[in-house]
Amino acid sequence: MKFNTDLSFAKKCDNADPLKSYRDRFLIPKNKDGSDVIYFAGNSLGLQPNTVRDNIEQELSDWEKFAVEGHRLAKNPWLPYHEFLTEGTAKLVGAKSEEVVNMNSLTTNLHLLFVSFYRPTKTRYKILIESNSFPSDHYAIQSQIKFHGYKVQDALIEMKPRAGEDKIRTEDIEELISLQGDSIALIWFAGVNYYSGQAFEFKKITEAGHKKNICVGFDLAHATGNLELNLHDWGVDFAVWCNYKYMNGGPGAIGGAFVHEKHLNDNSLPKFLGWWGHDKETRFLMDHKYIPIPTVESWQLSNPPIFQLAALKASLDIFDSAGMKALREKSEKMTAYMEFLLQEKVQREIEIITPTEKNERGCQLSLRVRKDGKKLYKDLISKGVICDWREPDVIRVAPVPLYNTFEDIWRSVEILNL
């Protein structure tokens, strides 16, 4: 599509948008004058679906009426509640239903799955990550390395971009794996890097790792609900994610996990156990013989928080209705349009460090501001453009296809120029 800089073009795109009605299914914060803010922070915390309150109030009502019996008698019985989200979750990440579960939080799930999939030996003990990985991942991985008795400086390999570049080239990742793979026990990359917005090539990285018999996992915090994913067919070994960004599950929302079916019945995998991973038919017989559920649910520890699942279900219902393919098509168009306007209209010294190739980014654009970046960020916030700042020099903007408009993008660039 050929873009132009007129407001009429943005309005034309919005009028023709087959997904435009989905904006009405979210609660959008207001400016002091009552107008909607321009909300580009869905990569940090998604907006609230307008059915969340009803979903949670249903569970509050059932708790009031049934108390403990709500586990069986609630409108949506609590014992199997997490199963109500399984099909929608599997569809979003390209998995089989037995490969996904919503449980715990992202970093907790990272640790639980590292117990199973980071199994270092004297000769193969290193972990490969991208250099600018999210701090929590870095902390978790450092602690895993130390827990197994290795030194971080010896066991951690950080994949860096070439000098003068921001994108990590896939061919460089493949070459490093080929050269050093015999010493690597685990590859752990983000699906989308939180800082640069680069989306990594899952399939190629996974294939390169498997050629060297390396286990490959991904942090999908910025990928789930943002990219079209196909974890099962790509052969990814395992993945974890949070559900409060593009997934709109609410602050501190329950996390998600994926384990490929080839590992589900591998009894040689070490695993931390809890009663919610035990066979459902005999769970309440209360004996001490653990029988694992033959799905990813065997990694569960405790019964999940029902209110968090209720909130997340509201969003999953929207994704199921809209379809990730259609959302991704709109996302690619919106991100390209924003990139075009920034390049054509903005006079400030701003560099877009997110890759230009549509297969190497989601809806986030990371803007490196050479001068007074923090001040510019605060100015945008004060004028109703809600984005976020990442040290040392980047403003992140994410036009989310479920609830952002092309006019949002046009007006934000106008404000950026003031």
List, for residues 49-74, the tens digit of each pLDDT value.
999 999 999 999 999 999 999 999 99
Q: Are residues 308 and 331 in the same domain?
A: no
Residue 60 covered by a domain = no
**d(C-alpha 44, C-alpha 393), whole Å:** 17
Residue 52 covered by a domain = no
Q: Are residues 311 and 197 in the same domain?
A: yes
Q: Where are the alpha helices (DSSP H) in 18-134?
A: 52-66, 70-73, 86-93, 106-117
Domain boundary residue, one of 304, 320, 336: 320
Spans of the chain, pLDDT less than 70 = none
Residue 49 covered by a domain = no
- Confidence at residue 348, expressed as pLDDT on a 0 to 100 scale: 86
Q: Are residues 365 and 240 in the same domain?
A: no
Q: Where are the alpha helices (DSSP H) in 67-211?
A: 70-73, 86-93, 106-117, 135-147, 152-155, 170-180, 202-211
- 286 burial level (CB within 10 Å; 0-12, 13-18, 19+): exposed
Residue 69 covered by a domain = no
Q: Are residues 378 and 254 in the same domain?
A: no
- Confidence at residue 35, expressed as pLDDT on a 0 to 100 scale: 97
**Which CA distances in Å does 274 have to 155, 266, 288, 305?**
30, 18, 11, 15
Residue 67 covered by a domain = no
What does DSSP say about strands 238-241 and 215-219: parallel, antiparallel, or unpaired? parallel
Cβ neighbours around 280 below 10 Å, total: 13
- Confidence at residue 1, expressed as pLDDT on a 0 to 100 scale: 80
Residue 73 covered by a domain = no
Close Cβ partners of 270 (under 8 Å, ≥ 6 residues apart): 115, 116, 119
Omega into 392 within 30° of 0, i.e. cis? yes
- Confidence at residue 347, expressed as pLDDT on a 0 to 100 scale: 84
- Confidence at residue 161, expressed as pLDDT on a 0 to 100 scale: 97
Q: Are residues 305 and 337 in the same domain?
A: no
List, for residues 325-353, the tens digit of each pLDDT value.
999 999 999 999 999 999 999 988 899 99
Q: Are residues 293 and 334 in the same domain?
A: no
Q: Are residues 335 and 305 in the same domain?
A: no
Q: Are residues 298 and 355 in the same domain?
A: no
Q: Are residues 132 and 262 in the same domain?
A: yes
216 beta partners:
187
Q: Are residues 95 and 193 in the same domain?
A: yes
Using alpha carbons, select from 315, 161, 209 the residue that is nearest to residue 253: 315
Residue 260 covered by a domain = yes
Number of domains within the chain: 2
Domain boundary residue, one of 320, 335, 368: 320
Domain boundary residue, one of 320, 336, 355: 320
Q: Are residues 171 and 293 in the same domain?
A: yes
Using alpha carbons, select from 326, 322, 308, 246 the residue that is nearest to residue 84: 308
Q: Are residues 92 and 174 in the same domain?
A: yes
User: Can you give the residue range of the structural domain that contains 334?
Assistant: 7-36+324-416
Close Cβ partners of 167 (under 8 Å, ≥ 6 residues apart): 161, 196, 198, 355, 360
Sole residue written with tokens 């609230």 = 48
Amino acid at 376: L
What is the CATH classification number for the domain harbouring 359?
A: 3.90.1150.10
Residue 63 covered by a domain = no
What is the CATH classification number for the domain harbouring 193?
A: 3.40.640.10
